[in-house]
Amino acid sequence: MASRKPLVLAQILVHGCARLRYIRFPAQRLKRLVATGHELSARLQFQTRTRERSRKVKNDGPDSRSERPQGPLTDIERSEFYLREGERLAHMGSWSLRPDGTFDYWSPETFVLFGFDPSEGIPTLPKWLTVLHPDDRDLLAKTIERMFRESVRGDVTYRVDHPKQGKRIMHSTGEPVVEDGKVTRLIGNTLDVTEQENALEEVRRLKDELYKENIVLREEINSTSMFEEVLGTSAVLQRVLALAAKVAPTDSTVLIAGETGTGKELIARAIHKRSKRGERSFVGVNCAAIPSSLIMSELFGHEKGAFTGAVQRRLGRFELAEGGTLFLDEVGDLPLETQIALLRVLQEREFERVGGAEALRCDVRVIAATNRDLHSAIADGSFRSDLFYRLNVFPIELPPLRERKEDIPILVNYFVDRYAQRAGKKIDSIRKKSLDALQEYSWPGNVRELQNVIERSLIIVDSNEFSVDQNWFSQEFQSSPRVGPASRISTEQERIKSALAQTKGKVSGQQGAAAILGIPASTLESKIRTLRINKHAYKGA
């Protein structure tokens, strides 16, 4: 057993050293070991070629198979057979290269990988380079030169022009063998990775195609679902949506005007969703719903102890919307002192918390909305003109529902399906008489009022046919249900003018024209603007 030990070590040196890092032995022992390895390598190659020629085993194709030697095997023969068969099955060959460019060992599978005839002996380094793809030869030559010079590991993938198999892809790994401080040879292995690389390339190609298709699909989804809750096909609505789509990718301030219930917040959310800030926060504030004494704190936050009840620091809406969009609904109802602070934010992009002295920078896109006539508010002195021009960078005017009657059937179908599902009811049809009545009504509350009427009707309906009780409409509809559009507008103008004359131009409040007409003040403001009525002409009446 002791006599076989150097041979086993030599076998490992010749055939298995591709997995070793740096081999360091005492010089004399290493010389004896290397000499033994060279002698054994030569004997094994001679024996292998002799057996292969005698048994006519083909070594030039991927289907070649090693035959087990007949009769009892020595440990060396058994190891050599197992190693050769393992390399064949893995399409992997091992090799050893000297500094002078001479390969002093190629395993049988290495000949198969590169298409060389074993009977002609191991090729030289220059001859081996000739079977490599021309664009990869310089890479391999420089890699080998660097491994010898710097005593480093080499790991490289390259292409081979195989004489029988065509284009193949190889991956070689090599390690330096150091003797007396010098690299005396490189040992390593080569693996045919053509199938793996082709599979990876196919995966990359499919991944790229999927990525491109995903981008296209995302753009289609965005374009079709940007206004998914803003329903309608009327020309006046489509013009509004086209404007919103154009301004969305920019960072410009937007002022959305329109009557109550026309969907101003839906448009604001759609603009935010399509903008570069779409992944960040959308923070909304209803300026009319917050007391004037608290609106500054709501927008800009406050420090601890800033006022009675301020027991801790509180972040305002501008800080919560950092990097995103702040939606200021009913901006026309802001107090004058708050308008000044808002103007500073829009101009200088900074603000201070209530009770604080530190100027805080902010990166927020502002979208404002109002149902008031801000021009009239500026004339009244209740709204600052400089703030108006800061907000009115890109104005969008939403049409009232009475100006898009052709959209009512679409909206009715949508709301009927929506609330029927919530109520657990099945509606198969909509009564034509009810649909005609819905289209005749002027809808002072716009889409929100339509939504409420449909929900109310679905609560009490007992059949599979949807119908509406006309008694739920305002008396304006009941008194003249079939008047033409021109007559209805003329009648409405007279009623509003009469109410303004009675209140001397006052719109809101208990003694205002809105109270006399029985409609919200914001709706009356919108009607005055739409019908081009000069309410200021009645102030001195």
Residue position matching structure tokens 């206004």: 227
Say what the pLDDT of residue 369 is. Answer: 94
Q: Would you say residue 531 has pLDDT above 90?
A: no
CB-based burial, 502-511: b 16+ in 10 Å, e otherwise: ebebbbeeee
For the segment 156-184, what is each residue's pLDDT rounded down to a tens digit? 999 999 988 889 999 999 999 998 888 99
For the segment 289-330, what is each residue's pLDDT rounded down to a tens digit? 888 888 888 899 888 888 877 778 888 889 888 899 999 999
Q: Determine which of 14-28, 272-286, 504-518 has the lowest per-residue pLDDT on average.
A: 14-28
Distance of CA 117 to the CA centre of its chain: 55
User: Where does the pLDDT of residue 257 fall: very low under 50, low under 70, confident under 90, or very high at 90 and above?
Assistant: very high
User: Where does the pLDDT of residue 110 fall: very low under 50, low under 70, confident under 90, or very high at 90 and above?
Assistant: confident
Domain 418-538 has CATH 3.30.565.10: no
How far, in Å, CA of 270 to CA of 241, rounded?
10
Quickly count: other Cβ atoms within 10 Å of residue 140's Cβ.
19
Report the SS3 class of residue 495. Answer: helix
Q: For the domain 2-192, what is the CATH superfamily, name and number?
A: PAS domain (3.30.450.20)
How far, in Å, CA of 25 to CA of 11, rounded?
16
Rounded to two decimals, the pTM is 0.49
- Domain ranges within the chain, ordered by starting residue: 2-192, 226-399, 418-538
Q: Would you say residue 112 has pLDDT above 60?
A: yes
Say what the pLDDT of residue 474 is. Answer: 55
Cα–Cα distances in angstroms (integers) from residue 48 to residues 68, 86, 114, 116, in the given order:
11, 16, 19, 16
Kindly state the tokens that stand for 288: 């009319």
Q: Mean per-residue pLDDT for 255-281?
A: 91
> Pairing relation of β-strands 154-162 and 394-397?
unpaired
Q: Mean per-residue pLDDT for 251-273?
A: 92
User: Where does the pLDDT of residue 255 fall: very low under 50, low under 70, confident under 90, or very high at 90 and above?
Assistant: very high
Q: Determine which of 205-214, 220-229, 380-389 has the lowest per-residue pLDDT on average.
A: 220-229
| Domain with residues 226-399, CATH architecture | 3-Layer(aba) Sandwich (3.40)
Element (DSSP H or E) covering residue 102: none
Say what the pLDDT of residue 475 is. Answer: 47
User: Where does the pLDDT of residue 499 fall: very low under 50, low under 70, confident under 90, or very high at 90 and above?
Assistant: confident
Report the SS3 class of residue 211. Answer: helix
How far, in Å, CA of 333 to CA of 229, rounded?
27
User: What is the 8-class DSSP label of residue 335?
Assistant: -
- The DSSP line for 431-494 is -HHHHHHHHHS--TTHHHHHHHHHHHHHHH--SSEE---GGGS-HHHHHSTT--HHHHHHHHHH
